[in-house]
Homo-oligomer: A and B are copies of this chain.
């Protein structure tokens, strides 16, 4: 049996899995991405976790290779470059590190692109050649497939749609710019919006009792379900900005569909309604009846693991 090690490095956690081409994910786990004493300790932790996953398999297998999804990767150099939420990994020769440890081929891919590949192979985009996956996690990720090919750019850094400036002199972004989409439409973006609304308005809200560090998108969602005005306004504000930018994506790419994944997308219609309404208002009239925005068909966090793994099979077949 041929299997692949797959790793998805996010701003908050690093997901690891052993994946089979047909069965999908066999074993998986996750560890925090940050808070290690050193970079070396972080990688040692990943190696340990991979060994644990391997020990759980009770059949013989061949390891074909390793697929790694990260934000802001430079696929030509095999490094992460200028990642807003992963400063401690910038310019680390991550591909080389894994090649030396495992003596296996290692493939690096933007995490958004990995999610798009995963959605196309195992999820809601099966059979589509033109589609986009937006991952609303700690940060805003994006994978764009056109004519069946993942948009890569000259060195694999294309698709950083989260760093489009949506507000002039807007919120400070980890990338060094201001007003990036990422700072509004992401788990951390909606938290910032809630805090801005709590500061600006005098509305009562259960969210006033929660600290910034404790606040999660899930709490905002649960408050919204109970008609908390601040929470509802936060989703509406987030959805409007996302809707405007989805209109841009339609005008630029003419996708068959756009899929939303990641923690924030779990809010369902509370987010989707303002997104759809605003997207229809901003798109060329030609697209108004054609806009299709759906949730990902894959379990949270699995799309990128499956997509990163698929690079190894692709190179083998």
Asked if B254 contacts A155 (CB within 8 A), the reply is: yes
Q: Indicate if A228 sits at the interface (CB-CB under 8 A).
A: no
Asked if B285 contacts A254 (CB within 8 A), the reply is: no
**What residues make up the interface of A, taking CB atoms closer than 8 Å to B?**
72, 81-82, 129-130, 144, 146-147, 149, 151-161, 163-165, 175-177, 244, 247-248, 251-256, 282-286
Interface centre among A153, A155, A165, A244 (most CB of B within 10 A): A153
Chain B contacts for A72, CB-based, 8 A: 286
**A175 to chain B: closest residue by CB:** B284
CA distance A284 to B163 in the complex (A): 7
Answer whether A244 and B285 are a contact pair too, CB < 8 Å, given A146-B146, A147-B152.
Answer: no
**A84 to chain B: closest residue by CB:** B284
Main secondary structure of the interface of A (DSSP, over half): loop
CA distance A153 to B161 in the complex (A): 18
Asked if B286 contacts A82 (CB within 8 A), the reply is: yes
Interface centre among A154, A158, A283 (most CB of B within 10 A): A154
Asked if B254 contacts A154 (CB within 8 A), the reply is: yes
CA distance A118 to B72 in the complex (A): 31
CA distance A285 to B82 in the complex (A): 8
Answer whether A253 and B163 are a contact pair too, CB < 8 Å, given A284-B176, A285-B176.
Answer: no
CA distance A251 to B159 in the complex (A): 7
CA distance A255 to B156 in the complex (A): 10
Answer whether A153 and B286 are a contact pair too, CB < 8 Å, given A146-B146, A146-B158, A248-B164.
Answer: no
**A152 to chain B: closest residue by CB:** B147
Asked if B284 contacts A159 (CB within 8 A), the reply is: no
A-B contact pairs, 29 of them (CB 8 A): A82-B284, A130-B152, A130-B153, A130-B158, A144-B252, A147-B149, A149-B149, A151-B253, A152-B254, A154-B254, A154-B255, A154-B256, A156-B254, A157-B286, A158-B253, A158-B254, A159-B252, A160-B251, A160-B284, A161-B251, A163-B284, A164-B252, A165-B244, A165-B247, A165-B248, A165-B282, A176-B284, A177-B282, A177-B285
